[in-house]
Structure 1
């Protein structure tokens, strides 16, 4: 059962994604801002982080850079989730240290494929 940290400030997105991930067999941890996401990643060491990029307190770009700069969290894969779908946004996410990128609204089948590509086939039911 993969442990996934969902860092998302929008309650509807958080609820939808967490319920669907739980149904697919993941353990889901939730943070509602970037600073809380960094703290939870350091304490819980999830297998994967789904990082909204537009977050309060500390945005997803800064949270990702912080996690990738720390030796204890730099190996945790991060998938950026963002409504920013303009040219250059994917590169900006990768430059911050994200391992992959997906746009909102989230296409759950596509996101599941990206999660399984990182964690391995069969990581989600």
Structure 2
């Protein structure tokens, strides 16, 4: 059985690229286009990893991470912020909200899978 990765991303181009790379590498991808949808799908699907954009409609990524960490069934699932928030303190904010990792956008297709594998 393939490992499942939930990608919570509202930008269609970013979602397409990440999904393409992950599926090419044998992962099953579940897509959510908003924070609240991501929380719902995470609870339903119990993915092996969650890739989380920070700038999301309805509920931002920091709030999503905090909500996911409140759910006992998801407590051990790694959450990696994949975001264009790259100012001083942004990585620390993501980690403080409950993320276990941080990848800056734009992603580098050549190194993306090695960054992902560090969290699986």
TM-score by length of 2: 0.95
Q: Equivalences for 1:41-60 in 2 at 5 Å?
A: 41-60=42-61
Partner of 1:17: 18
Which SS does the other structure have where 1:72 is aligned?
Answer: helix
Query: Runs of 4 or more off by more than 3 Å in structure 1?
Result: none
- Backbone CA RMSD of aligned residues: 0.9
Matched, 1:37 2:38: yes
5+ residue gaps, structure 2, are none
Q: When the two structures are superposed, what TM-score results if normalisation uses the length of structure 1?
A: 0.92
User: What is the deviation of 1:110?
Assistant: 3.0
Alignment of structure 1 residues 1-125 onto 2, 5 Å? 1-119=2-120
Length, aligned pairs only: 119
| C-alpha separation in 2, matches of 1:97 and 1:109 | 27
**Counterpart of 2:102 in 1: which secondary structure?**
strand
Alpha-carbon offset, residue 10 of structure 1: 0.2
The CA deviation at 1:46 is 0.2
Q: Can you list the C-alpha shifts for 1:15-67, whole angstroms capped at 9, x where unaligned? A: 11101110110000000000000000000000000000000011111000000
Structure 1 residue runs of 5 or longer lacking an equivalent are 120-125
Counterpart Cα distance in 2 of 1:58 and 1:74: 19
